[in-house]
């Protein structure tokens, strides 16, 4: 049976038009069933005829990018809430949105809940590195503040995704710090390093942020504050690089000729480094498959999000998360976190 992926038609900076285009591309190219969630009349403005594997689910309200987190409870009929409910009621296998990150995190916790044993969810984003393969970065913005137990759980969850969704046996896990020595870093990092050294993970030790693009690890663990800054810096540098390259090519006729000769390889490199290829960030630790795409997502990025969600469903990533959580002595930590009001994290913006 093809994965059923609910897609927030109202999420993202480009409105319903790009989301619908991306959903239709997914329906053409992937073995998925797409449920477009949003204001039906607005969605229909962007599609003449729906393919057999695309259906509409009406959602009368929208949570905008500028809305506060309270909108999740104030707007129960918003597309984010309706999409989460579809997953909760097992009418969809996954949910994809390019909408408000903090609201999506809150809605997932409210509607789906955490996997028992998981203290806090994390946003894990797979990014291109060297040609050796991709790396999952987590947390990229779900929680600005973290305790050692949180980062330890992130390491296990990230390892599961890279093993079961990307086929990497015994993925290498690195802890991002200011130096490779075990003694380098804050007290938080030193404690996490010690715990990961004693774990059954393939822990390669501390890694520096500048080494991540060289694929020194398959999973790079950091707190959400650091991760959000890292991922946005990488995106900004990549955009600057290609902008400068395009400018340089136009400076002289010889540069233009060289640019024409290099164009095929440069386009390959640009595609490989483009966030759209990887489908956004997966919200790990909630009891459902949820992907948050970049707010600027175009149709290709929406397609990438649907593809990633479908692969997560097909590879049984959620079931593996449950298996991992059962091994954690952290059920008490998870309960205490919720009791202290910390279970919702900080809702950073992953994109």
**Least confident piece of the model among 103-117, 203-217, 245-259:** 245-259
State pTM to two decimals. 0.86
> Which of these, 350, 220, 203, 297, lies nearest to 14 by C-alpha position?
297
Instruction: For residues 46-63, give the mean pLDDT.
Output: 92
Model confidence at 158, pLDDT cuts 50, 70, 90, reads very high
Model confidence at 262, pLDDT cuts 50, 70, 90, reads confident
Instruction: For residues 162-190, give the mean pLDDT.
Output: 93
Model confidence at 329, pLDDT cuts 50, 70, 90, reads low
pLDDT at 173 (0 to 100): 98
Instruction: For residues 102-130, give the mean pLDDT.
Output: 92
Radius of gyration of the chain (CA): 20
Give dist(CA 48, CA 253) in Å, integer.
Answer: 46
Model confidence at 296, pLDDT cuts 50, 70, 90, reads confident
Strand order in the sheet with 219-221: 54-58, 33-38, 4-8, 94-97, 289-292, 281-284, 122-127, 135-138, 219-221, 172-177, 202-208
Strand partners, 283: 123
Length of the chain equals: 351
CB 230 within 8 A of CB 125: no
Could you tell me which CATH number the domain at 4-114+285-312 has?
3.40.718.10
Residue 235 vs residue 288, higher pLDDT: 288
pLDDT at 171 (0 to 100): 96
Give dist(CA 65, CA 262) in Å, integer.
Answer: 39
pLDDT at 255 (0 to 100): 77
Instruction: For residues 53-75, give the mean pLDDT.
Output: 93
Model confidence at 326, pLDDT cuts 50, 70, 90, reads confident
CA distance from start to end of the chain: 32
Instruction: For residues 50-69, give the mean pLDDT.
Output: 92
Strand partners, 34: 5, 54
CB 213 within 8 A of CB 130: yes
């Amino acid at each position: 049976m093809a994965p059923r992926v609910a897609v927030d038609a109202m999420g993202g900076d480009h409105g319903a038009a790009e989301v619908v285009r991306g959903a239709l591309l997914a329906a053409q190219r992937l073995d998925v069933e797409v449920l477009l969630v949003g204001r039906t009349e607005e969605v229909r403005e962007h599609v003449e005829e729906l393919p057999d594997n695309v259906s509409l689910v009406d959602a009368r309200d929208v949570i905008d990018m500028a809305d506060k987190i309270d909108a999740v409870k104030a707007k129960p009929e918003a597309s984010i809430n309706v999409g989460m409910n579809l997953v909760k009621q097992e009418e969809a296998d996954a949910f994809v949105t390019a909408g408000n990150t903090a609201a999506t995190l809150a809605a997932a916790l409210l509607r789906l809940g955490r996997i028992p044993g998981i203290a806090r969810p994390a946003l894990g984003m797979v990014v291109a590195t060297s040609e050796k393969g991709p790396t999952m970065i987590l947390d990229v913005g779900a929680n600005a503040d973290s305790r050692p137990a949180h980062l330890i759980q992130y390491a296990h969850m990230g390892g599961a995704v890279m093993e079961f969704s990307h086929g990497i046996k015994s993925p290498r896990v690195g802890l991002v710090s200011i130096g490779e020595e075990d003694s380098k870093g804050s007290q938080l990092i030193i404690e996490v390093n010690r715990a990961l050294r004693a774990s059954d993970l393939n822990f390669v030790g501390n890694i520096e942020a500048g080494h991540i693009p060289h694929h020194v690890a398959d999973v790079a663990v950091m707190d959400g504050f650091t991760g959000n800054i890292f991922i946005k810096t990488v995106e900004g540098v990549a955009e600057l690089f290609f902008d400068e390259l395009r400018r340089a090519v136009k400076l002289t006729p010889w540069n233009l000729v060289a640019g024409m000769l290099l164009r095929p390889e440069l386009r390959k490199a640009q595609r490989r480094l483009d966030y759209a290829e990887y489908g956004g960030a997966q919200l790990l630790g909630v009891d459902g498959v949820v992907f948050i795409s970049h707010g600027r997502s175009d149709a290709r990025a929406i397609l990438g999000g649907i593809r990633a969600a479908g692969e997560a469903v097909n590879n049984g990533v959620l079931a593996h998360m449950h298996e991992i959580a059962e091994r954690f002595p952290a059920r008490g930590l998870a309960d205490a976190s919720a009791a202290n009001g910390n279970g919702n994290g900080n809702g950073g913006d992953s994109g």
